[in-house]
Structure 1
Amino acid sequence: MRRLLHRSLALAGALYVDVALATVQPAAAVVTPGSGTSAAGQLTQLVLGLLLVLGLIFLLAWLLRRVQNAAPGSGQVIEILGSRTLGPRDRLLLIQVGKEQILIGHTPGSIEALHVLAEPVEVPAGARQATPEFAQRLMELMGKDQKGRS
């Protein structure tokens, strides 16, 4: 994956150098009014440069997302099993640490362990993802609902 990232960056750098060298005029050239480039040509060059930069940004964002998804996630010791919103800024979280489950109260000013469960709660596999409601709804609207793919 790193090799692909390095090759993509090298290709983007080479394209940038080619565009930069093509647009540089010799120092001895004198630009006189009425000769040279027109306003439409300058605007086209500006738009193409902007599209190149935006394309590079989106390419790097895509590569970063792919690299983060490829990282192993099974090494996590602490896992959020469930979440319940109590108010605009208050939540209850069910956390699993090893084989122990803890109910935690989260407010803007504090995080408190409310109860350590003697018997672990069985959480269905589909409910293990503690996605905030807004993010889940946004994913559904974008057509990337994760529940249907499991």
Structure 2
Amino acid sequence: MWVKTAGVSLLLLVAPVVAEETAKTPQSVAANTTGSAPDTMGTLLSLGAGLLAVIAIIYGCAWIIRRMNGMTGMNNNAIKVVSVMAIGARERIALVEVGGQQILLGITPSSIRTLQVFDEPVVDTSSGNTGDFAKRLQGMIGKSWTAPSKE
């Protein structure tokens, strides 16, 4: 990706100079043979190499920052999102495990509220099977989650 971007940038730098060189008349080329004319191809190569070096430094810094993200010393395993269920277009309920205790949260765009704090885990997080989350949640809360019928 960055090679393609660098190639396009180099082409945009080279095109005006090449067009200028081809538009010169033979008399002006002969007049500039005194050695005072700048070496345009060398300048372009130097500019291109500098551009590639700057892009490589930017990508290198981004890579280092990504790698150092895990070295903050914070315990990222203290809070786990066990399951999330969409209730509406922008509303969700989430089952979060904090310190071995599971908490049911209601999440809206403007607030987060605690709906239920469970004494014993609703979902076993040690196994990867969480497919029947709604059934287990319904059993723990004791409410029916069926949608109202339209008459």
Alpha-carbon distance change, 42 to 127 in structure 1, aligned in 2, over 3 angstroms: farther
Alignment coverage as a number of residue pairs: 96
Q: Tell me the distance in 1 between the aligned counterparts of 2:83 and 2:93.
A: 8
TM-score (norm 1): 0.51
Q: CA deviation at 1:36?
A: 1.7
The 5-angstrom pairing of residues 120-131 of structure 1 reads 120-121=121-122, 122-126=124-128
Structure 1 residues without counterparts, runs of 5 or longer: 1-31, 129-150
Q: Cα RMSD (Å) of the superposition? A: 2.9
Q: Deviations over 1:123-148 (max 9, x none)?
A: 245479xxxxxxxxxxxxxxxxxxxx
Q: Tell me the distance in 2 between the aligned counterparts of 1:83 and 1:46.
A: 52
1:89 and 2:71 equivalent? no
Counterpart for residue 106 of structure 1: 107
Relative contact order, higher structure (CA 8 A, sep 6+): 1
Alpha-carbon distance change, 75 to 123 in structure 1, aligned in 2, over 3 angstroms: closer
Q: Tell me the distance in 2 between the aligned counterparts of 1:63 and 1:87.
A: 39
1:68 and 2:53 equivalent? no
TM-score (norm 2): 0.51
Larger-gyration structure (1/2): 2
Residue type at the aligned position of 1:35: A
The 5-angstrom pairing of residues 39-50 of structure 1 reads 40-50=41-51
Counterpart for residue 132 of structure 1: none
Identity of aligned residues (%): 35
Q: CA deviation at 1:75?
A: 5.9
